[in-house]
Every structure is written in structure tokens, then in C-alpha cells.
Amino acid sequence: MSKYEKLWEFVRDSKQDTIKLTFDEIKSILGFDIDHSFLNYKKELKEFGYEVGKISLKDKTVVFNKEVK
């Protein structure tokens, strides 16, 4: 089980084409802050039908997009 699996499940269960979460919202879901390792783990999200779109360090947000098949 990945340390980010709760986040991936949250994104998948949202059933939205695009979902934008703040770093604080992600922390609430996971119970910890995302860190640089997030970049390595984000490829796991494809298994849930989504991909990481834009990561904004300025706005402290992450956009997740449903994969188009």
C-alpha cells in the first residue's frame, strides 16, 4: 500500500473530471504534508484513472485530471 493511497482513492471517488486540492486539504486527507517524494509517487495515480495536472507551489495547490481514454 502506497503512503498516498488515501489521496488517490479520494480523487477517484470524487468522480470529477478535474479536482483541485490545496496542500492543506491534502494534509487533511493523508494526515501528513506532501513532500518532494510526491513527485515519485504521482505515477501511481494512473492506476486510479487520474493523473496529476498542475502543481502550484505559489498557490499551494495540486490539480488532478481524469485520464482520457
For the cut 80, the answer to whether the pLDDT of residue 69 exceeds it is no
Taking residues 2-17, report their average pLDDT. Answer: 96
The residues near 64 (Cβ < 8 Å, ≥ 6 apart) are: 11, 18, 19, 20, 21, 45, 50, 51, 52, 53
Is this model's pTM higher than 0.85 or not? Answer: yes
CATH number of 5-66: 3.30.56
Distance from C-alpha of 12 to C-alpha of 8, rounded to nearest angstrom: 6
Share of the chain above pLDDT 90, in %: 96
**E strand or H helix at 27:** helix 23-30
pLDDT digits (tens, 9 = 90+) for 33-63: 999 999 999 999 999 999 999 999 999 999 9
